Structure 1
């Protein structure tokens, strides 16, 4: 593994993501329903003005793939779409132990999504090294992992 970029904050995460997917045709985010959905919508926002199609799959239920569409209120989950893509973005919530997602089942889901695609990419986006600590790096053949950390200060004024 080689660090190719260091950045900070949400802006750094979004800039890194946009650079990695710039040549993609169709990006499919896979994440936990509810928790990961807003992160997929946020990342989709930075590619809204590109020809890249974007979708979201909850957990490993690729038959429930939905479009992520630009609306006057921002990026939102839309109608059903075909689950196939050339780029997959796995969101770290999937690897949380309480989600009980089997990494081998995830690999089967990835194979189905990338079926017949050329120039494929598998990207992990997580916080606090979730994919590494849960041993998903290796079993999942990631091309890139964007690993972020959140520092929080709650101030009473």
Structure 2
């Protein structure tokens, strides 16, 4: 894949995401429960007030799909929904070791997921190139990937 732009921080990640989905009407986030859920809610927060329908599917469990709604506390999972959308966002937790998903399973899942408008836009959002390192880019037809890197620094005066 060719690099289109670079940015820093969460703001840069949200800006890139908003740009990619500006023509989307309905966005389905797919990720591992717990780990990916807050990332879906964060990305959805960047789209609050946009009128876009947003939902989260844990792993490939379509029966447990939930809407993502705006609440006074931020974006949260809402009621059960039948997932149908023109944009699919695969979150990097799916590719983490011991999560249980393989690129082949996710490819089959994507091929069988209903789409309201025909072709689905497939976006990956991950950290530290996990989709590329795990061979997912060879199997999944990503249209775009937002790949972020994390640097942690623990500071303390107590030690």
Shift of 1:60: 1.0
State the TM-score, normalizing by the size of structure 1.
0.96
Distance 1:75 1:117 in 2: 26
Distance 1:119 1:140 in 2: 14
Other-structure match for 2:127: 127
| CA displacement 1:16-60 (0-9 Å, x = unmatched) | 000000100100000000000000000000111112100000011
Q: Is the 8 A contact 1:65 1:82 kept in 2?
A: yes
Other-structure match for 1:2: 2
What SS does the aligned partner of 1:55 have?
A: strand
Other-structure match for 2:37: 37
C-alpha RMSD of the superposition: 1.1
Distance 1:114 1:21 in 2: 18
What SS does the aligned partner of 2:137 have?
A: coil
Other-structure match for 1:55: 55
Shift of 1:99: 0.8
Q: Which runs of 5+ in 2 are unaligned?
A: none
Aligned residues: 157
**2:49 is aligned with 1:20:** no
Other-structure match for 1:65: 65
- Structure 1 ranges of 4+ moved more than 3 A: none
Other-structure match for 1:110: 110
What SS does the aligned partner of 1:88 have?
A: strand
Other-structure match for 1:154: 154
Q: Is the 8 A contact 1:62 1:109 kept in 2?
A: no
Distance 1:79 1:111 in 2: 25
What SS does the aligned partner of 1:131 have?
A: helix
Of 37-46 and 59-68, more deviation after overlay is shown by 59-68
Distance 1:156 1:119 in 2: 50
Q: Is the 8 A contact 1:27 1:88 kept in 2?
A: yes
